[in-house]
Amino acid sequence: MDEADGFSKDKRWNLQGMTAIVTGGTKGIGYAIVEELAGLGARVHTCSRTITELNDCLLEWKAKGFRVTGSVCDVSNQAQREKLLNAVSSEFNGKLNILVNNVGISMGKPVSDYTAEDISKLTSINFESAYNISVLAHPLLKASPSTSIVFISSVAGILPVSFAPIYGANKGNITLDVLYLYKF
């Protein structure tokens, strides 16, 4: 089917009236997700560790007519995660339709070269933040119709990759996390 048949993207997909949060939405996959959700009509809130990067993106999105807000947040910090979800709750009147856990980092080195600090940082950002933000968002999602939680994972969570073993383990945890949270 093509647009001549009346099946354009705009007619198939419409997120008007929906709200979304995308962690790490100022770069890469997260940036593309923010653009897609906002382009389909959703109101989106995103976060970044850096105010300059966040403000630059917010200006770009405003110029495109997108309804996107943002917060500075280091998702590895529990207090900042709580502050982020409080901002989202205020912004969207206690409701949320879509949560996209996108944030992720990798350190490409052999498993024997990782320090305890490296492992803690990777786990905090790649796994703990996604799990905790999902739990914090649960009341907002429960108060809304038509909800979804999306976890951006990796093939490294299913198949071993020699250049990023801790990243892969964290993404494997995310894959299992989805199964457990589904029952939540």
pLDDT for position 8: 59
Q: Is the pTM of this model over 0.85?
A: yes
Q: Pull the structure tokens for residue 29.
A: 């996959």
pLDDT for position 5: 53
Residue 145 carries which DSSP code?
A: S
pLDDT for position 10: 60
pLDDT averaged per 10 residues in sequence order, the chain, 184 residues: 54 88 98 98 98 98 98 97 98 98 89 92 92 96 94 77 79 78 66
- Residue 87: burial class (beta carbons within 10 Å; 0-12, 13-18, 19+): middle
Hey, what domains does the chain have and what are their CATH numbers?
16-182 (3.40.50.720)
Spot the catalytic one: 31, 131, 167, 182. 167
167 catalytic? Reply is yes
User: Closest by alpha carbon to 126, among 161, 164, 167?
Assistant: 167
Helix (H) or strand (E) segment spanning residue 70:
strand 68-72
Q: For residues 85 and 140, is the Cβ–Cβ distance under 8 A?
A: yes
Give per-residue pLDDT as tens, 46-83: 999 999 999 999 999 999 999 999 999 999 999 999 99
Distance (Å, whole) CA 135 – CA 96: 13
